[in-house]
Each structure stands twice: as structure tokens, then as C-alpha cells.
């Protein structure tokens, strides 16, 4: 254990009545945020490198249709998780009692119940989902994949306190280690039994290893079933608007892939390759926002609210400097990577990657703003923001898809984000967090970089 990470929790033993105030006696917020950023970048790099290597192997062992089937299952599981999202981890990070044993145990009890509900709901929708896509195999796949949620429900909620207190190194090691275990298990089983069913092995391996690690290796508060009235009320009060926000978040992040699935499982499988390659810079931005920016903003609100605007400016600029160059580079050079690494079955992923990576620059900019709403506890405006964005996405996807087909669908998310910017500005302006000149500069620089790169490519410079 890094000594800098364990400040306030001597020896990693069981916490008693640890509070945010005690955590603040450790390394400064700035140092913890900087150290955490390096851990996030390094962990995301390892994670995406492993995912890329896994993709190279699995695309040779399986057909695009198998990858498409698994992506449909994954999307439905993500949808159930979001439709039944009680925002337990987010509540722990935001709440002043987020380090207290009774609060964590009550949150753990709620999390267990949620895991069983997700599994039962997945079993109920498995047959309609399979019939909708004309893929009978999805019935068994979805039901089996959903049981992973039951295992995940027993993961210790102490893990959320790592993010709350910006102890990112330990959290990153847990996430990367469990993911690597799942990837290795998937490849081994897929090599021996090349079937879409072998892809489930990785999910089960990751969930089981993380279960053991969260309770036995990390330590901290010992979990037990609790139903404390105050903790339960605080969890549901903060999470009630985030539940709807999560539903809308699913529409925003996965509806394009659901629509592509109706155009053919093979098309969905090819597009999944482009989406997975784009995931690396998106994960950098998303992980920095959730594990660094959000906890940082939340602690500033409690301890130093006057300094929040300046910290938001610096944090958002730093996040953009990491994620946007990667997305712009993928949009321009990604097709060359696909031609080099994958066979002709995946040729359509070249132009898909250009559109997906280029369009992803817009949410990469705007998502770092909306985290301020959660940090100040304004989950209602956060929900309003997602309502507006979801409505605009449905409209843009319908119009762009009808006019331009698959390319229009792939770009619809970026179009919706741009159209939703006035609402975003309205919501964050109340808290003094709107930085229009920063947003404008990031939009212009990203668009210019992609346009110039594609033009040089067309002229034969590379």
C-alpha cells in the first residue's frame, strides 16, 4: 500500500468513524488530484492496451456476428444498470457521511437488492430482446450475463470511498487487475471453445476476483446488512433525480448502437470495433471526470467553495489536453490502424472510426462541465440537462439517420450535444461554472485539427 494513499487509515485496517475532515489532514487536494490523474492515465493506458490486444485476438477467433450478439447483450445489461441506478457510489462520494460504517453498510444492502432486481428483470426481457433482433441465442446469453449483477451487488461499498478521498492508485490497481484477469480468462476459453458463450467467462472472472479483493485484500469497514433510516433517506433523496438521469444517460450513450443492431448484427459487430478503439480517450476523459474532477469538486464545495471556479477551469483544461488530441488523432489516423491490424471483414470500421472519434470530441468537452452540478448536489438540474439532451438526440438521430443513413446515426450524438449547449450553459451558470471562452476554444481547436488532418491525408501527405 502506498503510504501517501493510506493517510488517515493506518495500516489499511478497519475504519471507524472516519470523516472528510480527517481525510483532509493527509496530502493536499492538489497533490492527491495530480497523483490521481497520473494513476488514471496510466491505468487507462494499460486497460485500453489490454482491450486492444484482446480485440486483435478475438476478432480472429470469432465472426463479426458473434461480437454483434455480445454487444446487444452488453447494451441491454448497461440499460438495466442505468434504469435501476440508485447512484450508490455517487451518493457516497457526495455525502458528508460517505466514510461512516453505518452509511456504507446501508448502501451495501441497497446494492445487493439492486443486483437481484437487475437479474430478474434481465430474465424477463430476454425473450422479447431476442425476438426483436431475430437472434434466439440472446435469450440464454442475456439471462446468464445478468447473474454477474448479483455477484457485483456483493462488492464492498468501501471501494467508493477510494474515489471519495481521491485514493486513486489503489482503485486503479483493483480495476486494472480484475480487468486483466477477465481478459486472460476470455481469451483462453475462447481459444479452446470459439463461441459467443466464451465471452461471458471474462465478466464472471472479473466480478468474482473483484468481490474477493474488495472484502479480503483491501480491508476497511467490514460489510454487513444494515437499513439505517437516515442513511437510506439520504441515499434515495440524492439518487431520485439521478435515477432518471441514468435512464436518459443510457439513451444518450447507447441508442445509436441499438439502432445499428436493427440494420444487421454484422454491421453492429463491425461498428463495435470502431467504438472500442475510440473508447481509450473517452475513458480517459470519463474516468478523470468521475474519479478526479467530481470528487475534487465535491470536496471543494465542502471545504473551499470560493476556490471552485478557478479549480474547475484548470481541471477541465487539463482533462481536455489529455483526451482531445487522442480523439483527433484517432479520427485522422485510426483508419490506417484498422487496415494494418484487422482483416477485410472490418474494412467498414475505417470510416466509422473517423466519424465516431471526431464526434466524440464534443461530449468529451461538455461532460466535464456537467460534473459540477453533481458536486454541488444539484441532481435536479443535472436531470433536466439530460432530458434536453435525450430529446435532441432522438430528433437528430431520426433526421440524420433518414437523410444520411449509418453515417448520420454515428454523428447524431455530437449534433445533439452541440444543440444542447445552451441548456448546459443555463444549468451551470447558476453556480458560476460556465466558461464559454474555454468551451469555444476547445471546439474550434478540435474541429480545425481534424479538418486539417483529413485534408492533408486526402492530399497524400500520409
| pLDDT tens per residue across span 79-111 | 787 777 767 877 787 777 878 888 889 989 999
Closest to 286 measured CA to CA, from 248, 323, 244: 323
Q: What is the tens place of the pLDDT at every residue in 358-388?
A: 888 888 888 777 777 776 777 778 878 878 8
Q: How many domains does the chain have?
A: 1
DSSP output for 354-401? HHHHHHHHHHHHHHHHHHHHHHTT-HHHHHHHHHHHHHHHHHHHHHHH
Percentage of residues in the chain having pLDDT higher than 90: 12
* H-only helix segments in 227-293: 229-262, 265-288
Closest to 161 measured CA to CA, from 103, 208, 99: 99
Q: Tell me the average pLDDT of the chain.
A: 78
Q: Is residue 293, in this structure, part of any structural domain at all? A: yes
Say if residues 267 and 345 touch (Cβ distance below 8 Å). no
The confidence score (pLDDT) of residue 9 equals 30
Q: Is residue 3, in this structure, part of any structural domain at all? A: no
Q: Is residue 1, in this structure, part of any structural domain at all? A: no
Confidence of residue 123 (pLDDT cuts 50, 70, 90): very high
Q: Is residue 384, in this structure, part of any structural domain at all? A: yes
- CA pair distance 230, 114, nearest whole angstrom: 19
* H-only helix segments in 154-228: 158-164, 168-192, 199-212
The confidence score (pLDDT) of residue 397 equals 81
Residue 265 has pLDDT above 80, yes or no: no
| Burial classification of residue 70, based on how many CB atoms lie within 10 Å of its CB (0-12 exposed, 13-18 middle, 19 or more buried) | buried
Say if residues 398 and 251 touch (Cβ distance below 8 Å). no
* Three-class DSSP category at 125: helix
The confidence score (pLDDT) of residue 446 equals 87
Residue 253 has pLDDT above 70, yes or no: no
The confidence score (pLDDT) of residue 208 equals 94
Residue 261 has pLDDT above 60, yes or no: no
Q: Is residue 300, in this structure, part of any structural domain at all? A: yes
What is the span of the domain harbouring residue 197? 14-458
Q: What is the tens place of the pLDDT at every residue in 1-13?
A: 333 333 333 233 3
DSSP output for 15-56? --S--HHHHTTSS-HHHHHHHHHHHHHHHHHHHHHHHHHHHH
Q: Is residue 40, in this structure, part of any structural domain at all? A: yes
Compute the average pLDDT of residues 388-404: 83
The confidence score (pLDDT) of residue 338 equals 85
Confidence of residue 161 (pLDDT cuts 50, 70, 90): confident
Compute the average pLDDT of residues 272-283: 75
Q: Is residue 185, in this structure, part of any structural domain at all? A: yes
Residue 147 has pLDDT above 90, yes or no: yes
Residue 165 has pLDDT above 90, yes or no: no
Q: Is residue 29, in this structure, part of any structural domain at all? A: yes
Could you tell me which residue, 166 or 19, shows the higher pLDDT?
166
How many other β-carbons are positioned within 10 Å of the β-carbon of residue 95?
Answer: 21
The confidence score (pLDDT) of residue 149 equals 92
Does the reported pTM lie above 0.75?
no
Compute the average pLDDT of residues 428-450: 85
The confidence score (pLDDT) of residue 41 equals 74
Amino acid at each position: 500500500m502506498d503510504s501517501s494513499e493510506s493517510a488517515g487509515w493506518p495500516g489499511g485496517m478497519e475504519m471507524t468513524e472516519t470523516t472528510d475532515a480527517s481525510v483532509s489532514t493527509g496530502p493536499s487536494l492538489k497533490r492527491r488530484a495530480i497523483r490521481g490523474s497520473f494513476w488514471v492515465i496510466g491505468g487507462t493506458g494499460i486497460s485500453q492496451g489490454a482491450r486492444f490486444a484482446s480485440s486483435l485476438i478475438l476478432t480472429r477467433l470469432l465472426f463479426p456476428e458473434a461480437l454483434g450478439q455480445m454487444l446487444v447483450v452488453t447494451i441491454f445489461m448497461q440499460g438495466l444498470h442505468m434504469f435501476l441506478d440508485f447512484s450508490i457510489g455517487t451518493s457516497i462520494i457526495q455525502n458528508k457521511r460517505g466514510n461512516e460504517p453505518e452509511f456504507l453498510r446501508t448502501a451495501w444492502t441497497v446494492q445487493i437488492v439492486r443486483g437481484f432486481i437487475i437479474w430478474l428483470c434481465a430474465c424477463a426481457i430476454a425473450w422479447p430482446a431476442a425476438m426483436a433482433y431475430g437472434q434466439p441465442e440472446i435469450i440464454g446469453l442475456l439471462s446468464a450475463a445478468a447473474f454477474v449483477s448479483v455477484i457485483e451487488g456483493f462488492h464492498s461499498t468501501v471501494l467508493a470511498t477510494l474515489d471519495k478521498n481521491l485514493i486513486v492508485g489503489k482503485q486503479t490497481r483493483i480495476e486494472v487487475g480484475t480487468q486483466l484477469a477477465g481478459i486472460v480468462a476470455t481469451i483462453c476459453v475462447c481459444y479452446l471453445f470459439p463461441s459467443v458463450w466464451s465471452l461471458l467467462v471474462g465478466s464472471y472472472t472479473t466480478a468474482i476476483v473483484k468481490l474477493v479483493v474488495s472484502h479480503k485484500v483491501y480491508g476497511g469497514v467490514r460489510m454487513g446488512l444494515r437499513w439505517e433510516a437516515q442513511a437510506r433517506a439520504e441515499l434515495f433523496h440524492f439518487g431520485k433525480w439521478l435515477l432518471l438521469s441514468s435512464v436518459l444517460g443510457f439513451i444518450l450513450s447507447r441508442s445509436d448502437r441499438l439502432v445499428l443492431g436493427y440494420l444487421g448484427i454484422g454491421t453492429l459487430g463491425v461498428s463495435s470495433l470502431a467504438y472500442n478503439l475510440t473508447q481509450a480517450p473517452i475513458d480517459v476523459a470519463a474516468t478523470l471526470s468521475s474519479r478526479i474532477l467530481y470528487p475534487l469538486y465535491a470536496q471543494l464545495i465542502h471545504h473551499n467553495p470560493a476556490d471552485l471556479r478557478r479549480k474547475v477551469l484548470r481541471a477541465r483544461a487539463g482533462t481536455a489536453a489529455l483526451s482531445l488530441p487522442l480523439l483527433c488523432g484517432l479520427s485522422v489516423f485510426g483508419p490506417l490502424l484498422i487496415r494494418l491490424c484487422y482483416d477485410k471483414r472490418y474494412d467498414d470500421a475505417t470510416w466509422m472510426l473517423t466519424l465516431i472519434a471526431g464526434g466524440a470530441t464534443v461530449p468529451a468537452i461538455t461532460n466535464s462541465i456537467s460534473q459540477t452540478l453533481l458536486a454541488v448536489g444539484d441532481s435536479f438540474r443535472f436531470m433536466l440537462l439530460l432530458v434536453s439532451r435525450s430529446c435532441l438526440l432522438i430528433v437528430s438521430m431520426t433526421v440524420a439517420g433518414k437523410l444520411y443513413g449509418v453515417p448520420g446515426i454515428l454523428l447524431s450524438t455530437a449534433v445533439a450535444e452541440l444543440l444542447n449547449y445552451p441548456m448546459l450553459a443555463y444549468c451551470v451558470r447558476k453556480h458560476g461554472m460556465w466558461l464559454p471562452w474555454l468551451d469555444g476554444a476547445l471546439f474550434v481547436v478540435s474541429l480545425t485539427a481534424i479538418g486539417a488532418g483529413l485534408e492533408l491525408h486526402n492530399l497524400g501527405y500520409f
